[in-house]
Amino acid sequence: MSATPPASESAGASGVPLLRVEDLHVTFAGRHRVFERQGRASARAVDGVSLEIEEGEIVALAGESGCGKTTLARAIMGFVRPEHGTIEFRGKPLGKDLRGYRREVQMVYQDPTGALNPRQTVYDSVVEGLRIHKVPGDEAELVDRALARAGLRPPERFLLRFPHELSGGQRQRVVIAGALALEPRVIVADEPVSNLDASVRGEILRLLLQLRRDSRISILIVTHDLALAWSVADRVAVMYLGRIVEVGPTRDVLLEPRHPYTRALLDVVPDAQDVGAIDRPLLTGEPPDPTRIPEACRFHPRCPALADGRAAEAGVEGACRSDDPRLDPIVAGHLAACHLAHRRPSGFRVP
Amino acid sequence: MSVLEVSDLSVSYATRDGPVPAVRGVSFDIDRGQVLGLAGESGCGKSTIGLGLLRLLPRGTEMAGRAVLNGADVLAMAPSALGAVRWTQASVVFQGAQHALDPVIRVGDQIEEAILAHRSLTRRQTTARTAELLELVGLPARRAKDFPNEFSGGQKQRVMIAMALACDPDLVIADEPTTALDVMVQAQVLRLLKSLQMELGLSMLFITHDLSVLAQVADRLAVMYAGRIVEEGPAEEVFGSPAHPYTAALAGAFPRIGDEAFVQAPGGLDGDPPDPRDLPTGCSFHPRCPRVMDRCRTIEPPSFPAGTGHRAECLLLEQGAPESMPT
């Protein structure tokens, strides 16, 4: 799989990616609910995902809500049990005992206010993980170091504060310090800045970049914001209805998208310099519903390339309606699950 | 002609520790058919302005200044007169308005209720108006019979927009109308608001933290920081060539795909917005300003012209002031 410059050395050294997900499936059972007219079918939230993360690599996992990106992140954390597929860390599949793994793979949530106990001081919040994992060493010293690494300096100033005495950015730093205290190798960050103010976001993202640079921590950022991915990620994976439909180096995926869905997502990124962007056509059709994943290509009912005849012109229309496209390389390291993309090497550049 | 003229508006919230100033002397106009974008971070006072214009703030909140809507000062009105202003002259679309719908009442009945509160129409006329409104926001009229839980988030926001338009208001205040929505749905609702605004010639106050959204819908842009409008001008100009360092930083916080300057370098500012109870001296932005000068720590910057119909409160503009300032 593709390796971006910062990751390539490590990949070459060991030959195995740090974290590897192979053909992962997570299904939530449907159930009858009181106010619904009929019971729900089960939801295939993650429907066959393979993804690798190298040491020191930042991968952005993007898509609309309901695409399964958060479920994939939670499955990687071991919070939900996959129905099928494997997760390997340092080449070893996850076993029953997740404790060691959970120490090395830490999660940072969207809402720092909700992630912190309002009645716990900063010290208590950060020390909790150390106690759970029975980390040896001087507790106070480890907390100090984690706070300093998260940019809360000097740490003494923050130790006895409560979450309500901190700003949103500082709270997210405390959450990150709690993760850092355990010296993780991977941070899974689920929309880490979407609850923060615009001017503070950059600060938290720069902190993540710095952690990667100084400690070669790998980071999986779950986000709906492709512009954010542009500014921090080495690679971008785009999910649609439980499947990664396009993945590759950030520059390739965002500047030369090969999957019509990625193109559509890029078209709705508000762009201040492009005032005409608001007039671009939008995806039509039903919003994605993981309880009813379409047959064949899961994007075909909404696909603009199928609707406007480009697929027919390229002679793939039949395939779009009958075969589930595989996520195959188009060029080295850049993969797309689209019949048309494999037919047309030029991709879908905007004219 | 202006639909709304706000002059020297100040709002202080009452707290146990005394009044907290949220809006500190703000002035702006909205012309008929124009969209004014009001941008800023949380706590800057932008939503307080939106709510204050309809006097929807909690009891005990102190308001000063004038907010003249269609010739009458809303702030000076008797509470009994406010009912006539709300919905018919100015209406609001809130963030997360989805939650404002009553879950056990059919959507059509909720829209009818809004119409009947202000108009005396027959049953048939009301139903027809409801159908018309639903179709206006891109929903089939038959959906009037459905309950809110049968609508998606974006559809509920469409219903809220329909309600806001129910009594043909002159001004629509949209407070983060697309923020809680998903990317694709956000784009759809934004396009809907823009097309309704053009089609119906609505005047709009569009409040959001997302500057890149405003650049697409607003004619003029006002940027707030710590309760003041620190820059105001034509939207493209304010975004394209900001005069205030805060506006520049805020614009930089929204990376542009394809712009090399943002690769591995997310923009934005260090530090946090100030606590309104403990504002810095001088220019309230000076502790975070990348271009701070000594004088900024003591002098509260007045408004300087920064182009045609473009002003900013920053001492950096002072030098250019004599020749461009009308006397």
* DSSP one-letter string for B177-241: TTTTS-HHHHHHHHHHHHHHHHHHT-EEEEEES-HHHHHHH-SEEEEEETTEEEEEEEHHHHHHS
User: Residue B183 is nearest to which of A197, A224, A230, comparing CB atoms?
Assistant: A224
Q: How far apart are CA B26 and CA B227, in angstroms?
A: 8
Shared domain for A309 and A170, answered yes or no, is no
Give the closest of B42, B209, B216 to A275, CB-based: B216
Distance from CA of A310 to the nearest CA of B (A): 23
Domain end, chosen from A216, A236, A251, is at: A251
Would A138 be classed as within a structural domain? yes
Q: Do A278 and B190 touch (CB under 8 A)?
A: yes
Q: What is the mean pLDDT of residues A193-210?
A: 89
Q: What average pLDDT is seen over chain A? A: 88
Residue from B95, B264, B277 whose CB has the most chain A CBs within 10 Å, to mutate: B264
Same domain as A188, residue A99: yes
Domains for chain B: give ranges and CATH numbers. Answer: 2-89+169-324 (3.40.50.300)
What whole-number percentage of chain A has pLDDT above 70? Answer: 88
Most A-contacting residue of B156, B257, B278 (CB-CB within 10 A), to test interface: B257
Task: Decide if the complex's ipTM is over 0.90.
Answer: no
b/e burial code for range B211-222 (CB count within 10 A of at least 16 → b) = bbbbbbbbbbbb
Looking at A218, A251, A284, the residue that finishes a domain is: A251
Instruction: Name the residue range of residue A207's domain.
Output: 5-251
Strand partners, A248: A236
- How far is Cα of residue A343 from the mean position of the Cα atoms in its chain? 28
Residue A188 and residue A50 share a domain: yes
Which chain B residue shows the shortest CA-CA distance from A207?
A: B266
Last residue of a domain, one of A251, A269, A302: A251
Q: What is the pLDDT of residue A273?
A: 64
One domain, residues A47 and A165: yes
Q: Is residue A47 domain-resident? A: yes
More confident residue, A276 or A87: A87
Tell me if B115 sits within 8 A of B126, measured CB to CB.
Answer: yes
Q: Averaged over A211-218, what is the pLDDT?
A: 96
Say if strands A186-190 and A43-53 run parallel, antiparallel, or are unpaired: unpaired
Q: What are phi and psi of B135, to 5 degrees?
A: -70, -30
Q: Best of B149, B272, B284 to disrupt the A interface by mutation (most A CBs within 10 Å)?
A: B272
What pLDDT is attached to residue B327?
Answer: 32
Task: Average the pLDDT over A14-38 and give the result.
Answer: 80
Measured between alpha carbons, how far is B292 from B312 in angstroms, rounded to an integer?
A: 15
Amino acid at B123: R
Any idea what the Cα angle at residue B116 is, between residues B130 and B169, rounded to 5°? 75
Which residues are within 8 A (CB) of A100 and not within 5 positions of it... i.e. 6 or more apart? Answer: none
Confidence at A10, pLDDT banded by 50, 70, 90? very low
Q: Residue A351 falls within a domain, yes or no?
A: no
CA atoms A15, A17, A21, A23: torsion sign: negative
Q: Which whole-number Å values give the CA distances from A317 to A296, B230, B259, B288, in the listed order?
A: 11, 55, 35, 56
Choose from A199, A200, A240, A251 for mutation: most chain B CBs within 10 A. Answer: A199
| Residue A164 belongs to some domain of the structure | yes
- Check whether residue A26 and residue A125 sit in a common domain: yes
pLDDT score of A200 more than 90: no
Tell me the chain B residues in contact with residue A158 when contact means C-beta distances shorter than 8 Å.
Answer: none
- A25 forms beta bridges with A47, A84
Q: Do residues A279 and A207 share a domain?
A: no
Which tens digits make up the pLDDT trace of A47-81?
999 999 999 999 999 998 889 999 999 999 999 99
Give me the number of domains chain A comprises. 2
Confidence of residue A36 (pLDDT cuts 50, 70, 90): low
What's the CATH number where A146 sits? 3.40.50.300
Which candidate, B162, B195, B197, B157, places its Cα nearest to that of B176? B157
Q: Which of B240, B254, B269 sits opposite A227 (nearest CB)?
A: B254
Give the pLDDT mean for A12-35: 80
pLDDT tens by residue, chain B, 327 residues: 799 999 999 999 999 888 999 999 999 999 999 999 999 988 899 999 999 999 999 999 999 999 999 999 999 999 888 888 888 899 999 877 667 889 999 999 999 998 998 888 999 999 999 999 999 999 999 999 999 999 988 899 999 999 999 999 999 999 998 887 888 888 888 889 999 999 999 999 999 988 888 888 999 999 999 999 999 999 989 988 999 999 999 888 888 899 999 999 988 888 888 888 899 999 999 999 999 999 999 999 999 999 999 999 999 998 654 444 333
Specify whether A32 is located in the same domain as A9: yes
Asked whether residue A348 is domain-assigned, the answer is no
CB contact under 8 A, A230 and B257: yes
Both tokens assigned to A276? 């005409």
* Chain A residue with Cα closest to B270: A203
Which residues, in sequence order, are CB contacts of B182 under 8 Å at separation 6+?
A64, A65, A66, A224, B153, B154
CB contact under 8 A, A209 and B264: yes
Q: Does B145 touch chain A if contact means CB atoms closer than 8 Å?
A: no
Partners of B194 on chain A (C-beta within 8 Å) are 278
Contact B272 A283 (CB under 8 A): no
Are B272 and A169 a contacting pair at CB < 8 A? yes
Taking Cα atoms as reference points, which of B188, B161, B155 lies closest to residue B174? B161
Cβ atoms A97, A40 nearer than 8 A: no
* A39 and A156, same domain (yes or no): yes
Q: Do A197 and B209 touch (CB under 8 A)?
A: yes
A79, part of any domain: yes
Write out the DSSP string of B52-74.
HTTT-SPTT-EEEEEEEETTEEG
Chain B residue with Cα closest to A63 = B183
Is the Cβ of B120 closer than 8 Å to some Cβ of chain A?
no
Co-location of A187 and A319 in the same domain: no
Question: Which pLDDT score, from 0 to 100, does residue B253 have?
Answer: 86
**Residue A39: per-residue pLDDT:** 61
Strand ranges across the sheet with B171-175: B90-93, B171-175, B203-208, B35-39, B220-225, B228-234, B311-312, B304-305
Local structure of B300: helix, strand or coil: coil
Kindly state the DSSP code that residue B86 receives in the 8-state scheme: B
Cα gap A88→A78, rounded to integer Å: 12
- Collect all residues of chain B within an 8 Å Cβ-Cβ radius of residue A275: 215-216, 236
In a shared domain, residues A242 and A283? no
Q: Could you tell me the two tokens for A294?
A: 């379409």
Tell me the residues of chain B between 231 and 260 that have a Cβ less than 8 Å away from chain A.
236, 239-240, 249-259
Least confident segment among A113-117, A283-287, A332-336, B231-235: A283-287
pLDDT (0 to 100) of residue A100: 87
Is A236 contained in some domain? yes
Return the residue matching tokens 């006329």: B125
Under the banding of pLDDT at 50, 70 and 90, the label for residue A347 is very low
Question: Lowest-pLDDT range, A82-86, A124-128, A284-288, A324-328?
Answer: A284-288
Q: Are residues A179 and A309 in the same domain?
A: no
- Residue A172 confidence (pLDDT) above 70: yes
Residue A178 lies in a domain: yes
Q: How far is CA A229 from the centre of its chain?
A: 10
Cα dist. A304→A253, A256, A283, A340 in Å? 18, 17, 7, 12
Shared-domain flag, residues A244 and A260: no
